[in-house]
Structure 1
Amino acid sequence: MQDLICYKTLPEWDSRTLPEAFRQRHNTHEGVWAKLTVLQGTLCFAFLSENNEVVESHEFTRDAPPPLVAPQRWHRIVSGSADMRCQLAFYCRPEEYYHLKHGMTRTHSEVINAALYVAPGKALDLGCGAGRNALYLNLLGFDVTACDKSRQSIDALKTIIDIEQRDHISAGVYDINEQLINGRYDFILSTVVLMFLQADRIERVIRNMQQSTNDGGLNLIVAAMSTEDYPCPLPFPFTFSAGELAGYYQEWEIIKYNEDPGELHKTDAEGNRIKLRFATLLARKRP
């Protein structure tokens, strides 16, 4: 459980109030672990196969607690003593926490990957949207500054910060087109944002990101492209051409770079997610 976080705890149950659904065969969703705590009495618990056969069964007490139930493992509560009291909680990895608890879009996979290459320090999320990536980095121990042009997005992020009572994360309105970064950071990220900027501001924004990054720090950029095989069908003010993003980082250590096809959340007239190439770059600033 070292890397898991509790995102939901249900009310206590006794032998009378234990829901019938938990006496039947069930499992948790993908990415969700279950922890059942026996507060009093005894509880008989069974792990089951896909064919509903008992694989193993145990009697648990407060002093002999049940193990953490792995995602999608079939199980059920068989019975409990008359004085049984228990409580169920659900756990997940940090990258799933705000999705499961607050219904936010999942943390971007490239941000999860990038966090493997830098120790927690000062991070800046340029164009944070509702804050899914900023909140994740904060859970990992980063001191995060999150900014976005949308007042509505920033207000929503601040609400979650208040609900969660999180420290070392701040959010503010910021127009990347017009403003310069204030301060220096160990990790600056901009995911699916630069295509919304004015084309004549891109070089200034990237150079500003680089200048505001500490030696040894990281930049992560994910942004739309328009290529012959995947012409961008949306009227973005800017899209990268082949090799363009990598060209800005020739003096940096490029940890990852690709121009792979991907999908936007936005759909076309037939309801299919729009496909195009994305330039994805993770680079470290050389001393």
Structure 2
Amino acid sequence: MPVEFFCAPEEYYLKKQYDLSKTHSEVVAAMPHLRIGKALDLGCGHGRNSLYLHLQGFDVTGYDRNGESIAYLQQLIADEQLSGIRASQQDLTELQIQGAFDFILSTVVLMFLPPATVPGLIAQMQQHTLPGGVNLIVSAMDTEDFPCTVGFPFTFKANELLNYYAGWDIIKYNENVGELHKRDEQGNYIKLRFATLLARKPQE
């Protein structure tokens, strides 16, 4: 019996023994708020979110600057003979988004970009989202109670991400504490606040 009968979509490619981490929990949580259509995954890595969205019926485009990650995802797409999903190597600091999308997401990616490039990338995300479409962003913060000590080039301040989406329908926004996969000198996982935003573009 096929493996898809035994697992949730977010676990499908994990069960098939591909080198993928689990779909980001905020992508899974966003599904009830999305209309199936075209999705753009900015910073797709090996494809954990792109492949999940494809299983849900989206036509998916994934971009990442890491050539090895893109090659891995492209090989997986070929091995599985998937259509309606494509991946290409793109530097997000120089990206010019083409087309319009129902869902644009970027999870734990923006903190690796030069600060000067973030406003323009968010503006492109917004411009290339169809009316009624949705953006999802999850990215690290630097706050007084949880200062960022790991050297990310960019971190959000309190309410900074929310302010970018003034005029959009805010489905979810929080600045909850999360753990990095990195440990501090005492061996504890480093904790930071993460800005998490799910917002819908107004209908024209």
Q: Would you say same fold, with TM above 0.5?
A: yes
Question: Offset at 1:274?
Answer: 1.5
Q: In structure 2, how many angstroms separate the alpha carbons of the residues matched to 1:103 and 1:181?
A: 28
* Amino acid across the alignment from 1:229: D
Q: Tell me, yes or no, if structure 1 residue 7 matches structure 2 residue 15.
A: no
Q: In structure 2, how many angstroms separate the alpha carbons of the residues matched to 1:207 and 1:121?
A: 21
Q: In structure 2, how many angstroms separate the alpha carbons of the residues matched to 1:227 and 1:121?
A: 36
Q: Tell me, yes or no, if structure 1 residue 133 matches structure 2 residue 129.
A: no
Structure 2 residue runs of 5 or longer lacking an equivalent are none
**How many residues were matched structurally?**
202
Q: Tell me, yes or no, if structure 1 residue 104 matches structure 2 residue 20.
A: yes
Superposed CA RMSD: 1.4
Report the counterpart of residue 217 of structure 1 in structure 2.
133
**Structure number having the greater helix percentage:** 2
Q: In structure 1, how many angstroms separate the alpha carbons of the residues matched to 2:19 and 2:110?
A: 25
Question: Offset at 1:163?
Answer: 1.5
Q: Which moved more, 1:141-150 or 1:262-271?
A: 262-271
1:58-101 Cα offsets, whole Å, 9 max, x none, are: xxxxxxxxxxxxxxxxxxxxxxxxxxxxxxxx610111111221
TM-score (norm 2): 0.95
Report the counterpart of residue 202 of structure 1 in structure 2.
118
Report the counterpart of residue 95 of structure 1 in structure 2.
10
Q: Tell me which stretches of 4 or more aligned residues in structure 1 moved more than 6 Å.
A: none
Report the counterpart of residue 14 of structure 1 in structure 2.
none
Q: In structure 1, how many angstroms separate the alpha carbons of the residues matched to 2:191 and 2:147?
A: 9
Report the counterpart of residue 36 of structure 1 in structure 2.
none
Q: In structure 2, how many angstroms separate the alpha carbons of the residues matched to 1:271 and 1:100?
A: 30
TM-score (norm 1): 0.68
Report the counterpart of residue 275 of structure 1 in structure 2.
191
Report the counterpart of residue 32 of structure 2 in structure 1.
116
Q: Secondary structure at the match of 2:125?
A: helix
* Amino acid across the alignment from 2:12: Y
**Structure number having the greater strand percentage:** 1
Which residue among 177, 184, 192 is the counterpart of 1:261? 177
Q: In structure 2, how many angstroms separate the alpha carbons of the residues matched to 1:229 and 1:6?
A: 48
Which residue among 68, 87, 90 is the counterpart of 1:152? 68
Q: Tell me, yes or no, if structure 1 residue 173 matches structure 2 residue 113.
A: no
Q: What percent identity do the matched residue pairs reach? A: 57
Q: Tell me, yes or no, if structure 1 residue 184 matches structure 2 residue 100.
A: yes
* Amino acid across the alignment from 1:174: Q
Q: In structure 2, how many angstroms separate the alpha carbons of the residues matched to 1:271 and 1:158?
A: 36
Report the counterpart of residue 286 of structure 1 in structure 2.
202
**Based on CA coordinates, which of the two structures has the bigger radius of gyration?**
1
Counterparts of residues 63-78 of structure 1 (less than 5 Å) = none
